[in-house]
Amino acid sequence: MPRRARFLVTTDERQIAYWARHRGHRTHDHPVVQFFATQRVDFIERFLDLRNVTNALDVGCGNGFSTFYMRRRVRDIWASDRSRFMLSRHPLRSHGRLAAADAVALPFDDATFDLVYGWEVLHHMAEPVRAVREMARVSRRYVFLVEPNPWNAAQLAFALWDPEHRWVLRYTRKYMGRLCDEAGLKVLRVATGGWVLPNVTPHALLRVLGAMPYRFALGLSNWAFAAKAA
């Protein structure tokens, strides 16, 4: 195995075990999580008018704040995650629209959702292109991906320190665009930005960070907006 490949290795099995136990993640109503998710949804609306999205699917939803805050703009929203433990912590678990499913085998028909999105989920997968193809399959119109930016100092340091996040090192803007291309999607825009980490950033810093421009080249996250090919 090439040296670089060995360095990048975690495994799907280790990822499943990692997410089967609580890692101290903040809940959806924590003020930092609320700030982070609200700011991100506002940014999404710069590129996509969510009033025209009739339904959506949140892939790899984790403990659910990515579903909870998007639901304020898209009322008909579903969520999936392969970790039943994380789904048990989802704030919308009583709504009956959660699916325990792997991202590479989503239990939905072709072209079911206007929008299919994943917030920081692909870097936990050995073969992310399979998941993006599956997201494209169940989408009617759009696929939206967000992943940690390996050129950001904080994200780089964490990826080097924690083997279970080593795959973050792949997720340059170029790589995310290539994933969309390989899944048969048309890339509409890529972007970089964000100053807040929902599970790490101290509450006391929100006022300062909220005054900073959201988009900047060394931001915490890389984004890819894509559409189904005509």
Contact 78, 55 (CB under 8 A): yes
SS3 129: helix
**What token pair was written down for 7?**
């360095």
- 204/55 Cα distance (integer angstroms): 35
Total H helices, total E strands in the chain: 9, 7
Phi, psi of 59 (to 5 degrees): -95, 130
- pLDDT surpassing 60 at residue 2: no
Higher pLDDT, 11 or 229: 229
Q: Per-residue pLDDT tens for 138-186?
A: 999 999 999 999 999 999 999 999 888 899 999 999 999 999 999 999 9
- Percent of the chain past pLDDT 90, that is, above it, reads 83
Higher pLDDT, 16 or 58: 58
- 182/175 Cα distance (integer angstroms): 10
User: Alpha helix locations (H) across 11-64?
Assistant: 12-19, 31-44
| Predicted pLDDT at 187 | 98
- pLDDT surpassing 80 at residue 110: yes
- pLDDT surpassing 50 at residue 21: yes
- 108/196 Cα distance (integer angstroms): 33
Choose the weakest-confidence range: 14-18, 46-50, 78-82, 122-126: 14-18
Q: CA–CA distance from 179 to each of 43, 113, 230 (Å)?
A: 22, 20, 18
Q: Per-residue pLDDT tens for 127-143?
A: 999 999 999 999 999 99
Of 13-17, 96-100, 164-168, the range with the highest mean pLDDT is 96-100
Give the mean pLDDT of 99-118.
98
The domain segmentation of the chain, as residue ranges, is 3-228
Q: CA–CA distance from 155 to each of 24, 62, 119, 159, 170 (Å)?
A: 18, 19, 15, 6, 12
| CATH, domain 3-228, list 1.20.1260.10, 3.40.50.150, 3.40.50.300, 2.60.120.10 | 3.40.50.150
- pLDDT surpassing 70 at residue 4: no
